[in-house]
Amino acid sequence: MIPELGQFALILATMLALLLGILPLWGAVNRNIVWQSLARPAAFLQFALVVLSFACLAASFLSNDFSVKYVAEHSNRLLPRAYQFAAVWGGHEGSLLLWVLMLTGWTAAVALFSQSLPLNMVARVLGVLGLVAVGFMAFILITSNPFDRLFPIPADGRDLNPLLQDPGLVIHPPMLYMGYVGMSVAFAFAIAALISGRLDAAWARWSRPWTVIAWSFLTFGIGLGSWWAYYELGWGGWWFWDPVENASLMPWLVGTALIHSLMVTEKRGSFKAWTVLLAIAAFSLSLLGTFLVRSGVLTSVHAFATDPARGIFVLCFLAIVIGASLTLFAWRAPAVTLGGSMGLVSRESFLLLNSVLLVVATGAVLLGTLYPLIIDALNLGKLSVGPPYFNLVFAPLMVPLLFVLVPGTVAHWREARLNDMVLRLRWIALAAFLLAIGLPFLFGEWSAGTALGVFLGMWVALGSLQHVVERIRKPGRIGGSFWGMHLAHFGMAVLVLGITGVKSFEVERDVRMALGDTVTIAPYTFRLADMVDVKGPNYKAMQAHVEVLKNDQVIEVLYPEKRRYFSSAMPMTEAAIDSGVLRDLYVSLGDPLPGDTPSWSMRVYYKPFVPWLWAGVLMMVFGGVLAALDRRYRRGSVSPLQTAGEALSSAS
Amino acid sequence: MKWMLGFAMLMACVVRAGDAPPMAEDPQVEARLVVIAEELRCLVCQNESLASSHAELAEDLRREVRKLIREDKSDAEIKTYLVDRYGDFVLYRPQVKPLTWPLWFGPFLMLLLAVWGLWRYLRLRKNALLAQAEPQHEPIVDTRAKD
Amino acid sequence: MNKKFLIPLGLFAALVVFLAVGLTRDPREIPSPLVGKPAPDFSLPVLAGDKPFSPADMNGKVWLFNVWATWCVACREEHPLLVEFSKNSKVPVVGLSYKEIQPQDMANGPMKDAEKLQLARERSLRFLQRQGNPYSLSVLDLDGRVGIDYGVYGVPETYLIDKQGVIRYKRVGPLTPQILQDTLLPLIQKWEAS
């Protein structure tokens, strides 16, 4: 009963999405107020129905209803409750339902928080979101229905992949999807603006907070994925340039460019066409990511069970949505006005440079990710493009970006004086330079790469600090935008320093240990004190007790495990990590080794600055949230001067 | 008396728990192996490098690479050995040859193109605005640096 | 001015075409660089008999080289097909028993080479007795070295080798009637005639 209810709710939601997609948009064209005002209620009702549908699927999981095929494939009686719930989005069909839940959620949020927007804009934006929803819902109902029944009903389900039985699984996909799907709002605003011809500073002001929130979620989701891979996979890696990782990075890069471009459009009415294109691109890359993961076109550890039929559907959907958007762009964008003037050196040109560098970086990642496919499609053979390529190509593009970040935040709008900026920034430039020369020696060997990383990280960090200090001294309220920007930039600096630190100074020891043996990575010593058998809810494990000593004092005991889950043949490594402010100590238990005394293979890592990776990401996330919640964007707090300015700039 | 000394030394060897020996038989060979293997793709677990994969074939191939390292083969020779048997697919760093020129030079060209485009745009824009600007239509927007 | 706004659309269209073609491909399959090159030489013990076998022994004949093992589940799919083929065709099929001794066989302790050889022979012969023997002879590659020389990365795999000992075709994965009919038999004909 419940699965059928869930399916029925989804069907109704699809019909509502269709209604939302057609009537309000039509109503905006022929000025039919009644049809336009259908948008908000339709958005709310659509969301409610999808919530119901999702709840039904969740209920099926929590009640172990193995007559539902999807539940049988992704759950198990022994699976702990929390993971039974998380299993709802553990497979292709359920994850799509999660996507739709978020899409309709964002749509409802836009419906709720758009009171200050003119009705015809609201109608258009919600209409576009409705059309996107129709595509996804249809995809689910036609090719990927999670409510399909299974007969005969198995007594127990197939277990979830043990790798996925982890708190990280509970939050990583939802956060990531919030980001991906959130980009649809900026997209909808852009399309609405193109359709109506109303492409102005006001549009940018409306779009910006939505885009920044989506960006924050995406940052968080990507960071979570990295962190999860780090502690779950057992060898301390955190970024592999895997196609699906790249699929999440690309919308992030373009999203970052979009946020900065929106600033210029909002402030000076400039770059409108470019900003619109970025908004279309950000969401398109989200959709492309969906396609890449589910079509079987690329090999990836993340890929869901693939099926060419699904691939065809998604590709058609992709082609229609993006093709139509880009056609609309080609048709309408040329008529867009230029906005204010700007000098060759000005904040606008710095922000444009930011766009350019981020877009080129995105292009490089896209090229590397798709090149094997292109070569194969042209029948020219099979090749691989992996981390060596991406590292070599991506890092050099980030260097100028990080460098111009600081002058970009202090440059005047419209016309900036290079001399003034040099004067203003000379001390932090010197400080960063000196730190770059000196700091690496404290942690190990000096190298040009390390120094460059330290320089850029310190440059950005000091730049933000200097700016904040200067601003605090002046009178006047400081808005969330300011704090948010600097927190996010500072977070970026921390991230860069973290990456530089760990890549330059990490140490790995791969040893065989018997009870009592030690291995030293100065100033820490690791001793294998004991090895015991433990039992978990659905697994059996071998657990090592590893004492960590510093100055002959035991400061910590780590418990790495090797688990054997009951319903899966694969053994899983659970690494043990001791996190400090400046470093992680990471121990991974390997296989027992043959020999007279029992011994095991162990991998011991000293990973300096890894916690800075996560700290940096969190700072960026909170920076984004702060910026989005700036009073400027909330209802009724727009100053008359600003509205007048917008009105005039949209008239020009 | 000598036997007591000998016995004590023997006991010292037996009783003292030691420094864990490295898994690898030859750390220097191993170090080179890791550097080379990180740039190679495992053919079975195709999302992992040859260095980190646990697949049986990966272990066999690592064994082969160790053998080649001991024979003093260069990195390039070792990679060629594998490419001869498995094709370009096994290299995570694609070779630079006409087939991969767009891949290797593409990003740089994109950057040049983009920067040139940016320059042209700013120039053209300046001229276009000069052409159409009339003083009273300048937007009333605060242009002082917003902190 | 107008035309350049079509560039994004143009680039996207090209992308869609590539992705569409990509849907018809299998990204996991790796074509062999050995096609068109001489079959790598080796000398391995055979399942039944004392004299070791080398590819040179087959010079002057067109033959199939089939990589298999008793632990390989996918091999069971193609085995009946191979058996039938060997009955109906004059083309000899040489088997390569690939890593017959697996880690789990040595769970109770390491095995000496002679022990491995014996166990491999016994198991393989037993298998062939029960399931049918398509092979004119089968060689044992216990450590997988020869497999590496041939670019083996999964089992089963099948090579077609011509009279001069040059590899002319490689199939990764089980043979199917389709592949046999449409690809392999025509190729065999072609290389028989040369």
Span of A144-148, A569-573, B77-81 with lowest mean pLDDT: A569-573
pLDDT-based confidence at residue B12 (cuts at 50, 70, 90):
very low
Q: Is B147 helix (H, G, I), strand (E, B) or coil?
A: coil
A539 domain residue, yes or no: yes
pLDDT-based confidence at residue A305 (cuts at 50, 70, 90):
low
> Residues A440, A446: contact at Cβ < 8 Å?
yes
C99 at B interface, C-beta within 8 A: yes
When the pLDDT of each residue in chain A is averaged and rounded to a whole number, the result is 90
A605 domain residue, yes or no: yes
Integer Cα distance of A444 and A447 in angstroms: 10
Q: What is the pLDDT of residue A200?
A: 83
Q: Are strands A539-550 and A524-535 parallel, antiparallel or unpaired?
A: antiparallel
3-state SS, one letter per residue, for A68-107 = EHHHHHHCCCCCCHHHHHHHHHCCHHHHHHHHHHHHHHHH
pLDDT-based confidence at residue A546 (cuts at 50, 70, 90):
very high
**Cβ contact (<8 Å) for A367 and B106?**
yes
Section B110-122 average pLDDT: 90
Last residue in a domain, options A105, A130, A160: A160
C46 domain residue, yes or no: yes
Residue of B nearest to A364 (CA): B107
Contacts of B88 in chain A (CB under 8 A): 381-384
Q: What is the pLDDT of residue A556?
A: 92
Integer Cα distance of B78 and A566 in angstroms: 41
| Residue whose pair of structure tokens reads 């020696």 in the numeric block | A441
**Cβ contact (<8 Å) for A277 and C8?**
yes
**Helical H segments across chain C, by residue range:** 7-23, 73-88, 113-131, 145-149, 177-179, 185-193
Contacts of A381 in chain B (CB under 8 A): 87-88, 99
Q: Which one-letter amino acid corresponds to residue A542?
A: M
pLDDT-based confidence at residue A91 (cuts at 50, 70, 90):
confident
Section A247-267 average pLDDT: 94
> Residues A542, A515: contact at Cβ < 8 Å?
no
- pLDDT tens string B26-82: 888 999 999 999 999 999 988 889 988 888 899 999 999 999 999 999 999 999 999
Q: What is the pLDDT of residue A301?
A: 63
C116 domain residue, yes or no: yes
C88 domain residue, yes or no: yes
Interface of B with C in 44-83 (CB under 8 A): 44, 46, 56-57, 60-61, 64, 83
Integer Cα distance of B41 and A299 in angstroms: 12
**Cβ contact (<8 Å) for C33 and B57?**
no
pTM of the model: 0.91
> CB-CB: which of C144, C150, C154 is closest to B60?
C144
User: Could you give the dihedral angle defined by the CA atoms of residues A119, A121, A123 and A129, in that order, rounded to the nearest 10 degrees?
Assistant: -150
Q: What is the pLDDT of residue B14?
A: 42
Is the pLDDT at A387 greater than 90? The verdict is: yes
Range of the domain at C122: 33-193
Chains touching A (at least 3 CB pairs under 8 A) are B, C
pLDDT-based confidence at residue B2 (cuts at 50, 70, 90):
low
Integer Cα distance of C32 and C65 in angstroms: 14
Give the largest Cα separation in chain B, rounded. 111
Q: Calculate the alpha carbon distances from A48 to A31, A44, A54, A111 in Å.
A: 28, 6, 10, 13
Q: Is the peptide bond before A523 cis (omega within 30 degrees of 0)?
A: yes
CATH number at residue C53: 3.40.30.10
Range of the domain at A541: 507-611
Is the pLDDT at A509 greater than 80? The verdict is: yes
B56 at A interface, C-beta within 8 A: no
The percent of residues above 90 in pLDDT, for chain C, comes to: 80
| Residue whose pair of structure tokens reads 């001229």 in the numeric block | B127
Residue of C nearest to A294 (CA): C23
Who contacts A498 (Cβ-Cβ below 8 Å, separation ≥6)?
A609, A610, A611, A612, A613, A615, A616
Contacts of C73 in chain A (CB under 8 A): none
C22 domain residue, yes or no: no
A149 at B interface, C-beta within 8 A: no
> Residues C151, C34: contact at Cβ < 8 Å?
yes
Integer Cα distance of B23 and A36 in angstroms: 70
Contacts of C149 in chain B (CB under 8 A): 85
pLDDT-based confidence at residue B120 (cuts at 50, 70, 90):
confident
Span of A176-185, A317-326, A342-351, C182-191 with lowest mean pLDDT: A342-351
pLDDT-based confidence at residue B142 (cuts at 50, 70, 90):
low
A636 sits in the region (left: phi over 0; alpha: psi -120 to 50; else beta) called left
Angle between helices A2-29 and A167-196 (to 10 degrees): 20
Section A440-444 average pLDDT: 87
The structural domain count of chain A equals 2
Contacts of C144 in chain B (CB under 8 A): 56-57, 60
> Residues C175, C158: contact at Cβ < 8 Å?
yes
Integer Cα distance of C42 and C98 in angstroms: 14
Q: Calculate the alpha carbon distances from C140 to B67, C42, C59, C99 in Å.
A: 22, 11, 20, 8
Q: Which one-letter amino acid corresponds to residue A248?
A: S
B19 at C interface, C-beta within 8 A: no
A154 domain residue, yes or no: yes
Integer Cα distance of A276 and A258 in angstroms: 9
Section A147-157 average pLDDT: 89
A245 domain residue, yes or no: no
Contacts of B117 in chain C (CB under 8 A): none
Is the pLDDT at C12 greater than 90? The verdict is: yes
User: Could you give the dihedral angle defined by the CA atoms of residues A192, A196, A198 and A199, in that order, rounded to the nearest 10 degrees?
Assistant: 50
pLDDT-based confidence at residue A160 (cuts at 50, 70, 90):
low
pLDDT-based confidence at residue B144 (cuts at 50, 70, 90):
low
A531 domain residue, yes or no: yes
- pLDDT tens string C60-98: 999 999 999 999 999 999 999 999 999 999 999 999 999
Section A526-546 average pLDDT: 91
C173 domain residue, yes or no: yes
Who contacts A579 (Cβ-Cβ below 8 Å, separation ≥6)?
A610, A611
How many cross-chain Cβ pairs, B to C, lie less than 8 Å apart?
37
Q: How far A376 CA sits from the closest chain C CA (Å)?
A: 8
When the pLDDT of each residue in chain B is averaged and rounded to a whole number, the result is 82
A368 at B interface, C-beta within 8 A: yes
C18 domain residue, yes or no: no
A344 domain residue, yes or no: no
Integer Cα distance of A301 and C176 in angstroms: 28
Is the pLDDT at A105 greater than 90? The verdict is: yes
Is the pLDDT at A641 greater than 90? The verdict is: no
3-state SS, one letter per residue, for A357-401 = HHHHHHHHHHHHHHHHHHHHHCCCCCCCCCHHHHHHHHHHHHHHH
Q: How far B111 CA sits from the closest chain A CA (Å)?
A: 6
Contacts of A367 in chain B (CB under 8 A): 102-103, 106-107
Is the pLDDT at A337 greater than 80? The verdict is: no
Section A334-363 average pLDDT: 87
Q: How far B73 CA sits from the closest chain A CA (Å)?
A: 21
Interface of C with B in 11-70 (CB under 8 A): 28, 30-34
Quote ipTM for the complex.
0.89
Q: Calculate the alpha carbon distances from A24 to A49, A124, A133, A134, A500 in Å.
A: 19, 7, 15, 15, 51
Span of A21-25, A116-120, A628-632, C140-144 with lowest mean pLDDT: A628-632
C6 domain residue, yes or no: no
Contacts of C24 in chain A (CB under 8 A): 308
Alpha-carbon Rg of chain A, whole angstroms?
Answer: 27
pLDDT-based confidence at residue A651 (cuts at 50, 70, 90):
very low
**Cβ contact (<8 Å) for A474 and B118?**
no
The structural domain count of chain C equals 1
A207 domain residue, yes or no: no
